[in-house]
A = this chain, B = another copy of it.
Amino acid sequence: MSQLSEFMSRARFNADGLIPAIAQDRETDEVLMLAWMDADALRRTLDTGQATYFSRSRQEQWIKGETSGNTQEVLSVRLDCDGDTVLLAVNQTGPACHTGQRSCFDNGPSVVPVEDVS
């Protein structure tokens, strides 16, 4: 079995045929975004080195940066221990977020937990 086939056979997709993919900046280690892939998008990502995702709202594949130019060159793809999440190490051109932020987590609301002192 080729390395690619073995990798694909270890990936576990959910009932909708999708797997969550975390894109992490190879240089800064920032978590840039989480998006979803179907098996074909994962295969294309591996075949082309360009992050390709599956839009749940539009029910179609999209190549990251195809319209915006803010592409994601994928340097490695890694499955977690139970094969149901993918971690991409990427070279991000421009902002990763459609809002213009570097990361999709840059502008989201954030809170600091309060430790239970009771």
Taking Cβ atoms with an 8 Å cutoff, the residues of A that contact B are 3-4, 6-7, 10, 20, 22, 24, 29-31, 33-34, 45-49, 74-83, 85, 87, 97-99, 101, 104-105, 107-116
A39 to chain B, nearest CB (A): 14
Q: Would you mind naming 24 contact pairs between A and B with Cβ atoms under 8 Å apart? A: A10-B109, A20-B20, A20-B34, A22-B22, A22-B34, A46-B113, A46-B114, A47-B116, A48-B113, A49-B113, A74-B113, A75-B113, A76-B111, A76-B112, A77-B110, A77-B112, A78-B108, A78-B109, A78-B110, A80-B104, A80-B105, A80-B108, A81-B104, A81-B108
Question: With A79-B110, A80-B104 given, can you name 9 additional A-B contacts, CB distance below 8 Å?
Answer: A3-B111, A46-B111, A49-B114, A74-B113, A75-B112, A76-B112, A77-B113, A81-B105, A81-B107
CA gap between A98 and B35 in the complex, in Å = 25
